[in-house]
Amino acid sequence: MSTHKKNPHKKDTSNFIQYSVILPIPQLEPLIQTYRFQYNFFAQHGIPSHITLLFLFPKELYIQKSKLFDQALTLLLKTFQKKKFVIDSFYQNPHMFALDFNKQSSDFIHQVQLQIASHFGLNTKEYEDPTKRPHVTLFTQRGDKRGFQAIPEIKRSLHPHLPLHISFDRIWILEIHTRENRAKLVKEIKGTASVPFEPPA
């Protein structure tokens, strides 16, 4: 029998560490990296432009079912690589500013989110929140709030490039430390090479 005792004065940080699954979009970096690096704390930790496929879920769930996760996400990536997705507008609410997908792209991604969340027993109600529909976040209230003051300038800069046609060639599984706003890559699942995005002249 172990005689090891937990230090009552040591804070348990395990509850603040969760996992998330994202679809990186490195093709967008030439257009938006300046704004993301300036106003987005995740960008400052090396997280590229992306959409979130699975929101925060317990780290233990991935550890227990890592093989199933990896298999499911590998198959999912093959499906995504057969399609092109279109970003055609902006999305803004009091908490964030983002690039938004057209309805066809958004509906497809949303249905995939619901299916995979349900497959792993996650709460699908979170995915019904209209503020969490598929999007590419430029920044949120949790980052540098000066970004909200720069929105008119950002729109003027990016609007001439819309619509943007993008593809996906990888999936990232991230570990998120919610208290300290830190994120790190746990695993990358890569597919075949995607068609590089070239901004219009």
Q: What is the CATH number of the domain that holds 26?
A: 3.90.1140.10
Query: Does the residue 200 lie in any domain?
Result: no
Query: Does the residue 66 lie in any domain?
Result: yes
Query: Does the residue 169 lie in any domain?
Result: yes
Query: Does the residue 71 lie in any domain?
Result: yes
Query: Does the residue 9 lie in any domain?
Result: no
Task: Give the pLDDT score at 9.
Answer: 43
Q: Look up the domain containing 172 and give its range.
A: 17-190
Query: Does the residue 126 lie in any domain?
Result: yes
The predicted-structure confidence for 110-151, as pLDDT tens digits, reads as follows 999 999 999 999 999 888 887 788 999 999 887 678 899 999
Does 180 have pLDDT greater than 90?
no
pTM: 0.85
- Name the domain count of the chain: 1
Q: For residue 101, what are its two tokens?
A: 């997908």
Helix axes 103-119, 66-81, angle to 10 degrees: 160
Query: Does the residue 198 lie in any domain?
Result: no
192 or 14: which carries more pLDDT confidence? Answer: 192
Query: Does the residue 6 lie in any domain?
Result: no
- Residue 139: exposed, middle, or buried by beta-carbon count in 10 A (0-12, 13-18, 19+)? buried
